[in-house]
Chains A and B, each alone.
Chain A
Amino acid sequence: MENKRPIVEMRNISKTFGSTRALKGVDFTVMHGEVHALLGRNGAGKSTLVSTMSGLVASDTGTIRIADTEVVANGQPYAAKIRDDIAHVQQTPQLFNLLTVAENLFLENPSVQKRFGLVSHNRMRTQARALLEKWNMDIRAEALAGELGAGTRQLLEIMKALSRGVPVIILDEPTAALSNAEKHLLFEQVKALKALGISFIYISHHLDEVFEVADTVTILRDGLVVKEREAVGNLNVELIADLMMGEKTARSVRSDHTRYDAPALLRAIGVGIYPVAELGVDFQVQPGEIVALAGPVGGGKEALAMMLAGQLTPYKGKITGADGSLPTIGLVPTDRHASGYVGMLGVRENVAIGGLDLLSGRLGFINREKEASHVGHLATQTNVIASSLEQAVSQLSGGNQQKVVFARALCHNPQVVVALSPTRGVDVGAKEQLYALLRDLASKGLGVVVVSDEEDEIAQLANRVVIVFEGKLVAELRGDYTMKDLILRMEGVI
């Protein structure tokens, strides 16, 4: 039997994004008919590793062999060579919203293709119905994918991958949007396919799932393998948490400036994060406090932050300030490219749009001296490095762009700063500067709300951590919490 030979063999895989080395020479193998769980904290390199495997991201070095196809990686795209051997289900469903369920499922499936590149819609529909039946799903094959709920979309994506008949399937956080019943449906299918010799690479933040479906575990930390191909029976939660965490390497420590005796700056009273939420959540920010909102993707932490920032209207309940009026709030949005900065405008203009009314006179014309001094001051405070304040922000490095976004958020002299993923895609040096900035703001009595997926970041900043899950505040850590507490709560173990 050729089953002794691994179905996937990756040697010396490395990948650099800008100034961050996401993978530093990783070896990874998968055997026939095995469910191989890939674990690690956020940013450890899990998603990058599986992306180099499927060719979604091209590896810079090393070799990749899947079944009988071998690729020598040099940073050039190679996805086309291996597409018949591997399917990759990403964290967020990649469906065509304006195509039907059947079309989405069989878009590239050879079984419905006819001569001259034509597609048999009849065959497509029949096969789609059979597949939906098999998965016990009560949706029409003719429904548009865009009309479906998040869980159904996720399942469709998985079904599409499973029905392609490839020997290796990557499931990257497949259960994030699934209900318990849907999860078990998925696990049954995975086990059935495993029995047929199909291999899975399984990424999840829920260790209980790993113990349920996985055979083998590999753990990544900072782009390196720290535990290779360990049988799942030899591991337990404690051991995994220790391996994922590694040596404590906090570069800076949090400090607590919370003024507990002062009235809260910002309060959420009975706020409904989801439209269907029965119970609203209560939440408040004290002056000088840095609160982190954490929890799984789609759990509602970002929605709550946007409601606190006044960008989203709560489905019920209200957001209010200390004396009934709202405080001024500075927002650092989650994706700076999409909604952080205006690339074609310069640093000065980008910062100034955060406080146009403060900087302009009675007729609404900008007071240019005031603008220059205020923006200059903020640029110094946030350490923006640019050739001049007129340089277009699109030309700056990621870290400096993010600093510009911070400067803009501070332009209106806010009492509360809401920062979503404050250091995403930012190099280490800029990260430390932004942490120091947030701590400095807190020491001056501002309230700071941080939304983050990174345990390190939270541990270095937050005096209080609130875990948001399924639209509810499910856990809270205060004061002297340890890194381990934090990781276990964020991974959903406790």
Chain B
Amino acid sequence: MSSANPTKGAKLQSSGPTRMQAFGSAFVSGGYTMYPVLLALVVLGAIVAPRFATSTNLINILEQVSVLGLTTIGLTFVVLIGRLDLSLEGVVGFAPMFAAVCLVPAAAGGFGIELPSWLGLFIALGVAGLIGVFNGFMVVRVGLNPFISTLGLLVLLRGGVLIVSNGRSIYSPGPALTYLGSAKLFGLPVSVLVFGLVALIVGLVFKYHRYGRALYAIGGNEDAARAAGINVDRVIWSAFVFAALLAGLAGVLMTGRLDSAVTTQGQGIIFSAFAAAVIGGVSLGGGRGTMVGLVSGVLLIGVINNLLTLAQVPSFYVQASTGAVIIIAAVLTTIASRRSSGVKTRT
């Protein structure tokens, strides 16, 4: 096994793509498609609404999207392997609620066990992790279609929130639960720092870690991944656990920002998460998507919501316009990726 020039492996084909095409392809596959759109929106926003381009407002946007961002990152774990997890929305509500009722006294709506406050974060993440293990079990061992198993669990968790809380929100559940979502560090909300840090670490894992490679390989061709010796079942299972953990963390941030565990917490977030992922170029068919793109999707949704609010568009119209924007962005992303790679993707 010796070779004169080991780094120069592939021989050059006569008709390679031009430099322009190569750039376009790298631009799209790297997940940068939506950044020009985002930039245009920010410029537009600065012109239209004077209050938009203030640092307070921009930080506010970041703070608002951090919950959605963490949920979307979690969702992307399972979408990359060609699965989906609707129950993440339930986790966002249930995990912090369960932790809260373990902490607060019975008079405030708790179980009455009044566990020490510092346990709050661990309980929330522990519950989320267990939910992920359950999802993985249902998909890998029982062999259920994740759409139906996680849909069932979503509805179950919605009910579960009402059961454990008796239908009432829990106020001031304790500093361990609320710190991440409410404190500030270096002038920035901790929630923004948490989102940034998680995005950075998971982004590196997706791109450079063997676990990330396994996710893409399984999403691209599960049988090939198996034949290559990847423990496919274990990766699928763990992806569901990571997804739920991140949704649990997102729920904790939300509880912190509101200083209470609300019974309706997280409702509808899974749709925004899917939208952000698709806008960011994550293929629902699996195997395609980057952290850079995902973040652009999350930011785009945040900026649009903020702009519509600042422009004093009536709230009914905000929701409808967000939906329209999602469809337009998804069309753009799909066309861009088809143009650049010649491969038809289902988004």
Contacts and interface: CB of A to CB of B under 8 A. Distances in A.
B343 interface: yes
Contacts of A374: 6
Nearest to A374: B6
A342 B9 CA distance: 19
B35 to A, nearest CB: 22
A376 B341 contact: no
Nearest to A359: B210
Given A380-B3, A389-B9, A339 B209 contact: no
Interface in A359-401: 359-360, 363-366, 368, 372-381, 384-389, 391-392, 394-395
A347 B10 contact: yes
Chain B interface residue count: which class?
A: 35 or more
Contacts of B12: 387-388
Nearest to A397: B13
B230 interface: yes
B287 A342 contact: yes
Contacts of B208: 365-366, 368
A360 B230 CA distance: 14
Interface centre among B17, B209, B214, B229 (most CB of A within 10 A): B229
A380 B9 CA distance: 5
B341 A340 contact: no
A345 to B, nearest CB: 6
B210 A366 contact: yes
Given A376-B6, A386-B13, A387-B17, A339 B224 contact: yes
Given A366-B208, A380-B6, A353 B214 contact: yes
Contact of A343 (B6, B220, B225, B228): B220
B1 A444 contact: yes
Nearest to B225: A353
A331 B230 CA distance: 12
A331 B227 CA distance: 6
A110 B224 CA distance: 43
A238 B288 CA distance: 56
B2 to A, nearest CB: 9
A339 B222 CA distance: 8
Given A349-B217, A377-B1, A444-B1, A333 B223 contact: yes
Contact of B204 (A356, A359, A365): A365
B213 A386 contact: no
Contacts of A349: 213, 216-217
B209 A365 contact: yes
Interface string B8-44: 1111110011000000000000000000000000000
Contacts of A381: 1, 3
B7 A372 contact: yes
A356 B213 contact: yes
Contacts of B214: 353, 356
B228 A353 contact: yes
A331 B11 CA distance: 25
Nearest to B15: A387
A385 B9 contact: no
Interface in A194-251: none
Contacts of B10: 347, 376, 379, 384-389, 391
Contacts of A333: 223-224, 227
Given A368-B208, A385-B11, A341 B229 contact: no
Contacts of B217: 342, 345, 349, 353
Contacts of B3: 377, 380-381
A343 B8 CA distance: 22
A379 B9 contact: yes
A340 B220 contact: no
B27 to A, nearest CB: 14
A346 to B, nearest CB: 10
Given A377-B6, A380-B3, A387-B12, A392 B343 contact: yes
Interface centre among B7, B9, B10, B341 (most CB of A within 10 A): B9
B40 to A, nearest CB: 29
B211 interface: yes
A408 B227 CA distance: 10
B166 interface: no
A344 interface: yes
B339 interface: no
A352 interface: yes
A339 B343 CA distance: 19
A374 B7 CA distance: 8
Interface in B287-323: 287-288
Contacts of B13: 385-387
Given A381-B3, A392-B343, A353 B226 contact: no
A366 to B, nearest CB: 5
Nearest to B16: A387
Contacts of B5: 380
A311 interface: yes
A375 B210 CA distance: 15
A357 interface: yes
Nearest to A347: B10
A132 B243 CA distance: 53
Contacts of B228: 331, 353-354, 408
Nearest to A333: B227
Given A341-B221, A344-B343, A352 B227 contact: no
Interface string B138-167: 000000000000000000000000000000
B6 to A, nearest CB: 4
Contacts of B268: none
Contacts of A368: 208
Contacts of B287: 342, 344-345
B342 interface: yes
A345 B1 contact: no
Contacts of B213: 349, 352-353, 356, 366
B207 to A, nearest CB: 9
Contacts of B341: 344, 392
A189 to B, nearest CB: 38
Interface centre among B12, B13, B216, B288 (most CB of A within 10 A): B13
Contact of B221 (A342, A359, A373, A395): A342
A344 B288 contact: yes
Nearest to B341: A392
A447 B139 CA distance: 37
Interface in B232-289: 287-288
A412 interface: yes
* Top 8 A-B pairs, shortest CB-CB distance: A376-B9, A379-B9, A339-B223, A342-B220, A356-B210, A387-B16, A377-B6, A342-B221
11 contacts: A331-B229, A339-B227, A342-B217, A342-B220, A364-B209, A372-B7, A373-B6, A381-B3, A385-B13, A387-B16, A394-B343
Given A341-B221, A379-B10, 11 more contacts: A311-B226, A333-B224, A343-B343, A344-B343, A357-B210, A366-B209, A376-B8, A385-B10, A385-B13, A387-B17, A412-B229
Interface of A: 311, 331, 333, 338-345, 347, 349, 352-354, 356-357, 359-360, 363-366, 368, 372-381, 384-389, 391-392, 394-395, 408, 412, 444
Interface of B: 1, 3, 5-13, 16-17, 204, 208-211, 213-214, 216-217, 220-221, 223-230, 287-288, 341-343
